[in-house]
Amino acid sequence: MVAKHQTPVLSLIIPTYNEAKNIEILIPRLAKVLAKIPHEIIIADDNSPDKTYDTALHLRKKFPRLRAICRTHNRGLSPAEIDGFQIAEGKYLAVMDADLQHDESILPDMFRKLEAGAELVVASRKAEGGGVSDWSRFRRFISWGASLMAHLLFPRLPSDPMSGYFALQASLFQRLSAQINPRGFKILLEIVAKAKQIRVAEVGYVFRSREHGESKLSGAVALNYLIALAELRFAGIFSREYLKFILVGFTGIAVNQLVFTAARRFGQLPDEKALLFGIEAAILWNFSINNLFTFRDQMLRGMGRVMRGLIFFQAICLVGAYINYATALHLSHFLGFNIYLANTIGIVIASFWNYFLNANTVWRKA
């Protein structure tokens, strides 16, 4: 046994909530994998009822590089990770789940990439050699959709922005720590969105299925994630253009209602058709006014360019409409939100989407 071990170079944080059984398996595995790297392992437990913390203290007798903290306030995955980062001594920090879903054998690879100069190394299910073991089609689809959105909003994102398994230079964390918002499950996204121009490396791995204990991620996670994305993307950039865009959006509502009413009353159209007329009129109206007013500095001129812009605008708004629809349904049916509130949230998120995508494609600044 080592009496006084070297100062750690790598600090591996493991957030836990009811993972006693898993850490008994994981810690010995880690000791083997990390044998050649001066390291410490920090279990950041939220006072789990299954006594994960006590189990960690017990394991510590055999694995002196193991440390454990017992948190009693501000429960949650991200805040636990941040607390772990804060007491870590290593020059490099890493996080992994306790539940054996993250393949520990790639840790030395991740470590080498940090040593080679990467500031952030993401263990990725999407990079070469990566994958998921037995996900249902549905879960794959959700995961695909969420990461597609993330990539559209943040063009320079790593291939697996939702990974809970990554490593970074402690100095990068210190530089960003004041800006990191420790909520939910999105710490990596937070880091990537706030750090501009960092050297990111990836290592592929296969996400295993969970054998003991249960997942704490609910069905609401994908949605929270989208809200987080929107927040990260849009906080602080409520530009004049954005406000104009929203204003135009409101006038679009009026146009929609007017045309809808006219089509019903005077055109004698059935509701299903009249609604479509209203929606299309609003899209045409919004497109024209945004072109003339909101984005006048990048105004599209000439038939060809206007038509092309309009096609893009239509497509983007269609996706926006879907986001509105899916968010509202999800919030109300699965999370029990009042339908009006749910729809309002859907509208707000969709408007972020519409604005950001249009501002960056149709009316992109040269």
SS3 string, 192-228, reads HHHCCCCCEEEEECEECCCCCCCCCCCCCHHHHHHHH
Structure tokens at 346: 């859907």
157 closest CA partner among 105, 198, 192: 192
Note whether 101 binds ligand GDD by CB under 6 A. yes
Note whether 294 binds ligand GDD by CB under 6 A. no
- To the nearest whole angstrom, how small is the minimum distance from the Cβ of residue 174 to ligand GDD? 21
3-state secondary structure of 16: strand
Note whether 19 binds ligand GDD by CB under 6 A. yes
CB within 8 Å of 236: residues ≥ 6 apart:
none
Tell me which of Mn ion, ligand GDD, none is bound by residue 249, counting a contact when its beta carbon lies within the kind-specific cut-off of 5 to 8 angstroms. Answer: none
- To the nearest whole angstrom, how small is the minimum distance from the Cβ of residue 266 to ligand GDD? 53
Only one of the segments 10-18, 107-115, 226-234, 307-315 lies at the binding site for ligand GDD (rule: CB under 6 A); that segment is 10-18
What is the per-residue DSSP string for 93-161? EEE--SSS-S-GGGHHHHHHHHHTT-SEEEEESSSTT-EESS--HHHHHHHHHHHHHHHHH-TT--S-T
Strands 39-45 and 10-16: parallel
By beta-carbon proximity to Mn ion, the closer residue of 80 and 170 is 80
Cα 101 from Cα 209, distance rounded (Å): 6
3-state secondary structure of 177: coil
Note whether 18 binds Mn ion by CB under 5 A. no
- To the nearest whole angstrom, how small is the minimum distance from the Cβ of residue 141 to Mn ion? 19
Cα 353 from Cα 324, distance rounded (Å): 10
Tell me which of ligand GDD, Mn ion, none is bound by residue 166, counting a contact when its beta carbon lies within the kind-specific cut-off of 5 to 8 angstroms. Answer: none
Query: Interface residues for Mn ion in 93-112 (CB under 5 A)?
Result: 97, 99, 101
Which residue has the closest beta carbon to ligand GDD? 164
Note whether 229 binds ligand GDD by CB under 6 A. no
Q: Which of 164, 249, 252, 320 binds ligand GDD (CB under 6 A)?
A: 164
- To the nearest whole angstrom, how small is the minimum distance from the Cβ of residue 267 to ligand GDD? 49
Q: Which residues does residue 131 pair with via DSSP β-bridges, in sequence order?
A: 206
Query: Interface residues for ligand GDD in 24-83 (CB under 6 A)?
Result: 44-46, 75-77, 80
By beta-carbon proximity to ligand GDD, the closer residue of 40 and 97 is 97
- Give contact residues for ligand GDD (rule: CB under 6 A): 15-17, 19, 44-46, 75-77, 80, 97-99, 101, 162, 164, 185, 215-217
